Structure 1
Amino acid sequence: MKITHYRDKYRIDSARLADYDYGSNGMYFITICTKNRIPYFGSIEETDGEFALQPTLLGQQAIACWLAIPDHFPFVALDGFQIMPNHMHGLLCINKPGYEEWHPNVFGPQSRNLASILRGYKVGVTRFAIENQLEFGWQPRYYDRVVRNEDELNRIRWYIQQNPANWANDAENAEGQYM
Protein backbone atom coordinates (compact mmCIF):
# COMPACT_ATOMS: atom_id res chain seq x y z
CA MET A 1 0.00 0.00 0.00
CA LYS A 2 1.53 3.26 -1.11
CA ILE A 3 0.81 6.48 0.78
CA THR A 4 1.30 9.80 -1.01
CA HIS A 5 0.69 13.47 -0.42
CA TYR A 6 -2.29 15.12 -2.10
CA ARG A 7 -3.30 18.71 -1.34
CA ASP A 8 -1.05 18.68 1.76
CA LYS A 9 -2.81 15.58 3.12
CA TYR A 10 -1.80 11.97 3.18
CA ARG A 11 -3.84 9.60 1.09
CA ILE A 12 -3.61 5.95 0.18
CA ASP A 13 -3.15 5.34 -3.54
CA SER A 14 -5.82 3.27 -5.21
CA ALA A 15 -5.29 -0.47 -5.36
CA ARG A 16 -7.19 -0.54 -8.66
CA LEU A 17 -5.36 -1.35 -11.87
CA ALA A 18 -4.84 2.06 -13.45
CA ASP A 19 -5.72 1.14 -17.03
CA TYR A 20 -8.29 -1.56 -16.34
CA ASP A 21 -11.99 -1.26 -17.17
CA TYR A 22 -13.83 -2.45 -14.04
CA GLY A 23 -17.08 -2.47 -16.01
CA SER A 24 -15.72 -4.95 -18.54
CA ASN A 25 -16.72 -8.58 -18.74
CA GLY A 26 -14.78 -10.78 -16.36
CA MET A 27 -14.64 -12.57 -13.03
CA TYR A 28 -13.75 -10.59 -9.91
CA PHE A 29 -12.72 -11.81 -6.44
CA ILE A 30 -13.88 -9.44 -3.72
CA THR A 31 -13.12 -9.06 -0.02
CA ILE A 32 -14.94 -6.48 2.10
CA CYS A 33 -14.22 -5.99 5.81
CA THR A 34 -16.30 -4.52 8.60
CA LYS A 35 -15.10 -1.40 10.36
CA ASN A 36 -12.33 -2.22 12.84
CA ARG A 37 -12.85 -5.93 12.03
CA ILE A 38 -15.79 -6.11 14.44
CA PRO A 39 -17.62 -9.46 14.06
CA TYR A 40 -21.05 -8.03 13.23
CA PHE A 41 -22.07 -10.95 11.01
CA GLY A 42 -21.93 -13.81 13.51
CA SER A 43 -19.52 -16.47 14.69
CA ILE A 44 -17.90 -19.58 13.24
CA GLU A 45 -19.15 -22.73 14.91
CA GLU A 46 -18.15 -26.37 14.49
CA THR A 47 -20.80 -29.05 14.20
CA ASP A 48 -19.74 -32.66 13.48
CA GLY A 49 -16.41 -31.52 12.04
CA GLU A 50 -18.00 -28.92 9.74
CA PHE A 51 -17.34 -25.24 10.28
CA ALA A 52 -19.94 -22.65 9.32
CA LEU A 53 -21.05 -19.14 10.10
CA GLN A 54 -23.85 -18.89 12.62
CA PRO A 55 -25.16 -15.58 11.34
CA THR A 56 -26.61 -12.75 13.35
CA LEU A 57 -29.62 -10.91 11.96
CA LEU A 58 -27.16 -8.59 10.20
CA GLY A 59 -25.20 -11.58 8.88
CA GLN A 60 -28.42 -12.98 7.41
CA GLN A 61 -29.00 -9.64 5.70
CA ALA A 62 -25.42 -9.57 4.36
CA ILE A 63 -26.14 -12.95 2.74
CA ALA A 64 -29.50 -11.80 1.37
CA CYS A 65 -28.03 -8.58 -0.07
CA TRP A 66 -25.23 -10.50 -1.78
CA LEU A 67 -27.72 -12.92 -3.33
CA ALA A 68 -29.85 -9.96 -4.50
CA ILE A 69 -27.05 -8.33 -6.52
CA PRO A 70 -28.27 -9.83 -9.85
CA ASP A 71 -31.74 -8.38 -9.17
CA HIS A 72 -30.23 -4.88 -9.25
CA PHE A 73 -27.46 -5.59 -11.76
CA PRO A 74 -28.81 -8.16 -14.25
CA PHE A 75 -25.43 -8.34 -16.01
CA VAL A 76 -23.88 -9.88 -12.87
CA ALA A 77 -23.72 -13.61 -12.14
CA LEU A 78 -22.65 -14.71 -8.68
CA ASP A 79 -20.22 -17.52 -7.99
CA GLY A 80 -18.86 -18.74 -4.65
CA PHE A 81 -19.11 -16.48 -1.61
CA GLN A 82 -18.69 -16.69 2.13
CA ILE A 83 -19.84 -14.33 4.84
CA MET A 84 -17.44 -14.47 7.77
CA PRO A 85 -17.83 -12.83 11.20
CA ASN A 86 -16.07 -9.62 10.17
CA HIS A 87 -15.61 -9.78 6.41
CA MET A 88 -16.94 -11.38 3.28
CA HIS A 89 -15.42 -12.98 0.21
CA GLY A 90 -17.22 -13.29 -3.07
CA LEU A 91 -16.74 -14.07 -6.72
CA LEU A 92 -18.86 -12.25 -9.23
CA CYS A 93 -18.90 -12.26 -12.99
CA ILE A 94 -19.76 -9.21 -15.05
CA ASN A 95 -21.25 -10.30 -18.37
CA LYS A 96 -22.55 -7.56 -20.63
CA PRO A 97 -23.33 -9.09 -24.03
CA GLY A 98 -22.00 -6.93 -26.81
CA TYR A 99 -19.82 -4.87 -24.47
CA GLU A 100 -16.86 -3.77 -26.55
CA GLU A 101 -16.00 -0.30 -25.27
CA TRP A 102 -13.00 -0.01 -22.97
CA HIS A 103 -13.24 2.62 -20.23
CA PRO A 104 -10.10 2.62 -18.05
CA ASN A 105 -10.55 3.12 -14.32
CA VAL A 106 -11.01 6.83 -13.58
CA PHE A 107 -11.82 8.86 -10.48
CA GLY A 108 -15.40 10.11 -10.47
CA PRO A 109 -18.96 8.84 -10.63
CA GLN A 110 -19.22 5.10 -11.18
CA SER A 111 -22.09 3.17 -12.75
CA ARG A 112 -22.57 -0.32 -14.14
CA ASN A 113 -19.12 -1.36 -12.93
CA LEU A 114 -17.55 -3.17 -9.97
CA ALA A 115 -17.46 -0.05 -7.77
CA SER A 116 -21.18 0.65 -8.27
CA ILE A 117 -22.10 -2.99 -7.63
CA LEU A 118 -20.18 -3.10 -4.35
CA ARG A 119 -21.43 0.33 -3.30
CA GLY A 120 -24.99 -0.96 -3.76
CA TYR A 121 -24.21 -4.07 -1.70
CA LYS A 122 -22.66 -2.08 1.14
CA VAL A 123 -25.54 0.43 1.12
CA GLY A 124 -28.10 -2.40 1.33
CA VAL A 125 -26.49 -3.93 4.41
CA THR A 126 -25.93 -0.52 6.02
CA ARG A 127 -29.52 0.58 5.39
CA PHE A 128 -30.80 -2.60 7.07
CA ALA A 129 -28.57 -1.93 10.10
CA ILE A 130 -29.82 1.65 10.39
CA GLU A 131 -33.49 0.66 9.99
CA ASN A 132 -33.08 -2.00 12.69
CA GLN A 133 -30.95 0.18 14.97
CA LEU A 134 -28.01 -2.22 14.78
CA GLU A 135 -24.49 -1.00 15.38
CA PHE A 136 -22.57 -1.49 12.15
CA GLY A 137 -19.95 -0.05 9.85
CA TRP A 138 -17.93 -1.07 6.80
CA GLN A 139 -14.26 -0.51 6.21
CA PRO A 140 -14.13 2.33 3.65
CA ARG A 141 -12.48 0.33 0.89
CA TYR A 142 -12.58 -3.20 -0.46
CA TYR A 143 -10.08 -5.58 -2.00
CA ASP A 144 -10.60 -6.86 -5.50
CA ARG A 145 -8.69 -9.06 -7.85
CA VAL A 146 -9.38 -9.62 -11.52
CA VAL A 147 -9.41 -13.41 -11.91
CA ARG A 148 -7.03 -14.20 -14.74
CA ASN A 149 -7.56 -17.89 -15.53
CA GLU A 150 -9.40 -21.11 -14.62
CA ASP A 151 -6.66 -22.36 -12.26
CA GLU A 152 -6.76 -19.13 -10.27
CA LEU A 153 -10.57 -19.26 -10.20
CA ASN A 154 -10.51 -22.79 -8.79
CA ARG A 155 -7.93 -21.83 -6.13
CA ILE A 156 -10.08 -18.87 -5.08
CA ARG A 157 -13.23 -21.03 -4.94
CA TRP A 158 -11.38 -23.48 -2.69
CA TYR A 159 -10.11 -20.65 -0.47
CA ILE A 160 -13.63 -19.24 -0.09
CA GLN A 161 -15.11 -22.66 0.68
CA GLN A 162 -12.43 -23.45 3.28
CA ASN A 163 -12.50 -20.03 4.95
CA PRO A 164 -14.72 -21.04 7.92
CA ALA A 165 -12.51 -24.06 8.72
CA ASN A 166 -9.44 -21.79 8.69
CA TRP A 167 -11.02 -19.06 10.82
CA ALA A 168 -8.92 -19.81 13.93
CA ASN A 169 -5.77 -18.92 11.97
CA ASP A 170 -7.28 -16.15 9.81
CA ALA A 171 -5.56 -12.77 9.95
CA GLU A 172 -9.03 -11.17 9.89
CA ASN A 173 -9.94 -12.97 13.14
CA ALA A 174 -9.09 -10.43 15.82
CA GLU A 175 -9.65 -13.05 18.50
CA GLY A 176 -7.33 -15.58 16.89
CA GLN A 177 -9.75 -18.32 17.89
CA TYR A 178 -13.26 -19.55 17.29
CA MET A 179 -15.86 -17.38 18.90
Structure 2
Amino acid sequence: MDQIKRKPNRLKNYDYSQNGIYFITICTNNRKPVLSQIFVGAGIARLHALQLTNIGLVADKGIKGIEKHYENVFIDHYVIMPNHVHLLLRIERPGGRAMLAPTVSRIVQQLKGYVSKQSGKKVWQKSFYDHVIRDEQDYFTKWQYIDKNPLKWCEDELYQQSFI
Protein backbone atom coordinates (compact mmCIF):
# COMPACT_ATOMS: atom_id res chain seq x y z
CA MET A 1 0.00 0.00 0.00
CA ASP A 2 1.41 3.39 -0.99
CA GLN A 3 1.80 5.96 1.73
CA ILE A 4 0.73 9.51 1.02
CA LYS A 5 3.72 11.83 1.06
CA ARG A 6 3.05 15.03 2.95
CA LYS A 7 4.41 18.27 1.58
CA PRO A 8 6.76 19.85 4.14
CA ASN A 9 5.15 22.82 5.89
CA ARG A 10 8.42 24.49 6.90
CA LEU A 11 11.02 26.27 4.80
CA LYS A 12 13.97 24.01 4.13
CA ASN A 13 17.11 24.99 6.07
CA TYR A 14 15.36 27.88 7.85
CA ASP A 15 16.10 28.37 11.55
CA TYR A 16 12.69 28.85 13.18
CA SER A 17 14.26 29.90 16.48
CA GLN A 18 15.91 32.99 15.01
CA ASN A 19 14.61 36.52 15.43
CA GLY A 20 11.66 37.19 13.19
CA ILE A 21 7.91 37.47 12.90
CA TYR A 22 5.83 34.47 11.91
CA PHE A 23 2.22 34.30 10.74
CA ILE A 24 0.90 31.04 12.16
CA THR A 25 -2.34 29.20 11.40
CA ILE A 26 -3.39 26.28 13.60
CA CYS A 27 -6.50 24.32 12.56
CA THR A 28 -8.78 22.24 14.73
CA ASN A 29 -9.07 18.47 14.34
CA ASN A 30 -11.27 17.72 11.33
CA ARG A 31 -11.88 21.48 11.09
CA LYS A 32 -14.61 21.22 13.71
CA PRO A 33 -15.83 24.65 14.90
CA VAL A 34 -15.04 24.11 18.59
CA LEU A 35 -13.16 27.32 19.44
CA SER A 36 -15.66 30.11 18.92
CA GLN A 37 -18.94 31.17 17.40
CA ILE A 38 -19.35 34.10 15.05
CA PHE A 39 -22.70 35.80 14.99
CA VAL A 40 -23.39 37.58 11.73
CA GLY A 41 -25.55 40.65 12.09
CA ALA A 42 -28.22 41.87 9.73
CA GLY A 43 -28.67 45.18 7.96
CA ILE A 44 -26.22 47.47 6.25
CA ALA A 45 -23.49 47.27 8.89
CA ARG A 46 -23.66 43.46 9.22
CA LEU A 47 -21.85 43.67 12.53
CA HIS A 48 -20.19 40.45 13.63
CA ALA A 49 -19.67 39.23 17.16
CA LEU A 50 -17.15 36.56 18.11
CA GLN A 51 -17.83 34.52 21.25
CA LEU A 52 -15.28 32.03 22.53
CA THR A 53 -16.38 28.56 23.61
CA ASN A 54 -14.91 26.92 26.72
CA ILE A 55 -12.18 25.40 24.54
CA GLY A 56 -11.66 28.80 22.90
CA LEU A 57 -11.21 30.37 26.34
CA VAL A 58 -8.52 27.79 27.12
CA ALA A 59 -6.83 28.57 23.78
CA ASP A 60 -7.00 32.29 24.59
CA LYS A 61 -5.36 31.69 27.98
CA GLY A 62 -2.69 29.54 26.34
CA ILE A 63 -1.92 32.16 23.69
CA LYS A 64 -1.65 34.88 26.33
CA GLY A 65 0.61 32.59 28.37
CA ILE A 66 3.18 32.27 25.58
CA GLU A 67 4.74 35.63 26.44
CA LYS A 68 4.96 34.65 30.12
CA HIS A 69 6.44 31.24 29.37
CA TYR A 70 9.00 32.28 26.75
CA GLU A 71 11.33 35.19 27.28
CA ASN A 72 11.57 37.43 24.20
CA VAL A 73 8.66 35.72 22.42
CA PHE A 74 5.64 37.93 21.80
CA ILE A 75 2.17 37.57 20.34
CA ASP A 76 1.65 40.77 18.35
CA HIS A 77 -1.88 39.96 17.16
CA TYR A 78 -4.22 36.97 17.00
CA VAL A 79 -7.75 35.80 16.38
CA ILE A 80 -9.50 32.64 17.53
CA MET A 81 -11.88 31.59 14.78
CA PRO A 82 -14.38 28.70 15.10
CA ASN A 83 -12.07 26.13 13.49
CA HIS A 84 -8.64 27.77 13.45
CA VAL A 85 -6.35 30.30 15.10
CA HIS A 86 -4.15 32.93 13.43
CA LEU A 87 -1.16 34.38 15.29
CA LEU A 88 1.52 36.93 14.54
CA LEU A 89 4.30 35.49 16.69
CA ARG A 90 7.49 37.52 17.15
CA ILE A 91 10.82 36.19 18.39
CA GLU A 92 13.10 39.03 19.40
CA ARG A 93 16.20 38.02 21.30
CA PRO A 94 18.96 40.53 21.95
CA GLY A 95 22.00 39.32 20.06
CA GLY A 96 20.02 36.86 17.93
CA ARG A 97 19.56 33.17 18.61
CA ALA A 98 20.21 31.79 22.07
CA MET A 99 21.70 28.31 22.42
CA LEU A 100 18.50 26.68 23.66
CA ALA A 101 15.99 29.01 22.06
CA PRO A 102 12.56 27.51 21.43
CA THR A 103 11.57 27.05 17.82
CA VAL A 104 8.23 28.16 16.42
CA SER A 105 7.32 24.46 16.18
CA ARG A 106 8.07 23.94 19.87
CA ILE A 107 6.01 26.97 20.90
CA VAL A 108 3.03 25.81 18.81
CA GLN A 109 3.42 22.23 20.05
CA GLN A 110 3.26 23.38 23.67
CA LEU A 111 0.24 25.61 23.00
CA LYS A 112 -1.60 22.76 21.30
CA GLY A 113 -0.68 20.36 24.11
CA TYR A 114 -1.85 22.79 26.78
CA VAL A 115 -5.23 23.35 25.12
CA SER A 116 -5.81 19.63 24.51
CA LYS A 117 -4.80 18.68 28.05
CA GLN A 118 -6.93 21.39 29.68
CA SER A 119 -9.98 20.57 27.56
CA GLY A 120 -9.54 16.79 27.75
CA LYS A 121 -9.98 16.48 23.98
CA LYS A 122 -7.91 16.18 20.84
CA VAL A 123 -8.50 19.74 19.68
CA TRP A 124 -5.95 20.24 16.90
CA GLN A 125 -5.05 18.72 13.56
CA LYS A 126 -1.51 17.54 13.01
CA SER A 127 1.05 20.26 12.29
CA PHE A 128 0.33 23.92 11.48
CA TYR A 129 0.92 26.44 8.72
CA ASP A 130 3.48 29.22 8.87
CA HIS A 131 4.58 32.19 6.83
CA VAL A 132 7.80 34.05 7.61
CA ILE A 133 7.07 37.79 7.55
CA ARG A 134 9.38 39.39 5.02
CA ASP A 135 8.86 43.15 5.46
CA GLU A 136 6.63 45.84 6.95
CA GLN A 137 4.04 45.58 4.17
CA ASP A 138 3.81 41.81 4.64
CA TYR A 139 3.32 42.36 8.39
CA PHE A 140 0.59 44.94 7.78
CA THR A 141 -1.16 42.64 5.28
CA LYS A 142 -1.22 39.74 7.77
CA TRP A 143 -2.37 42.05 10.58
CA GLN A 144 -5.31 43.18 8.44
CA TYR A 145 -6.06 39.59 7.48
CA ILE A 146 -6.36 38.71 11.18
CA ASP A 147 -8.60 41.74 11.79
CA LYS A 148 -10.90 40.94 8.87
CA ASN A 149 -11.03 37.17 9.31
CA PRO A 150 -14.19 37.14 11.48
CA LEU A 151 -15.95 39.37 8.93
CA LYS A 152 -15.20 36.85 6.19
CA TRP A 153 -16.25 33.79 8.19
CA CYS A 154 -19.59 33.37 6.44
CA GLU A 155 -17.67 33.13 3.12
CA ASP A 156 -15.52 30.26 4.46
CA GLU A 157 -16.25 26.91 2.78
CA LEU A 158 -16.39 25.31 6.23
CA TYR A 159 -18.77 27.92 7.66
CA GLN A 160 -21.91 26.41 9.11
CA GLN A 161 -25.01 28.32 10.16
CA SER A 162 -25.59 26.04 13.11
CA PHE A 163 -22.86 25.53 15.64
CA ILE A 164 -21.81 21.91 16.14
Q: Normalized against structure 1, the TM-score is what?
A: 0.81
Q: Does 1:139 align with 2:133?
A: no
- Report the CA distance between 1:45 and its aligned residue: 1.1
Unpaired stretches in structure 2, ≥5 consecutive residues: none
Corresponding residue for 1:32?
26
Of 72, 75, 89, the match for 1:75: 72
CA contact (8 A) 1:25 1:96 kept: yes
- Report the CA distance between 1:174 and its aligned residue: 4.3
Equivalent residue letter for 1:28: Y
CA contact (8 A) 1:23 1:114 kept: yes
Of 91, 110, 114, the match for 2:104: 114
Corresponding residue for 1:57?
54
Deviations 1:61-109 (A, max 9, x none): 11111111011111201111000001000101001111258x9xxxxxx
Q: Normalized against structure 2, the TM-score is what?
A: 0.88
- Report the CA distance between 1:59 and its aligned residue: 0.7
Structure 2 counterparts to residues 150-161 of structure 1, below 5 A: 150-161=136-147
Structure 2 counterparts to residues 7-46 of structure 1, below 5 A: 9-46=3-40
Rate the CA distance shift 1:69–1:45 in 2: closer, same or farther, 3 A.
same
SS in 1 for 2:146: helix
Q: Does 1:126 align with 2:116?
A: yes
SS in 1 for 2:56: helix
- Quote the Cα distance in structure 1 between the aligned partners of 2:109 and 2:70: 12
Unpaired stretches in structure 1, ≥5 consecutive residues: 1-7, 104-109
Rate the CA distance shift 1:30–1:69 in 2: closer, same or farther, 3 A.
same
SS in 2 for 1:11: coil
- The count of residues paired between Structure 1 and Structure 2 equals 159
SS in 2 for 1:93: strand
Identity of aligned residues (%): 36
Corresponding residue for 1:99?
96
- Quote the Cα distance in structure 2 between the aligned partners of 1:100 and 1:129: 33
Rate the CA distance shift 1:16–1:29 in 2: closer, same or farther, 3 A.
same
SS in 1 for 2:8: coil
Which 4+ residue blocks in structure 1 deviate beyond 6 angstroms?
A: none
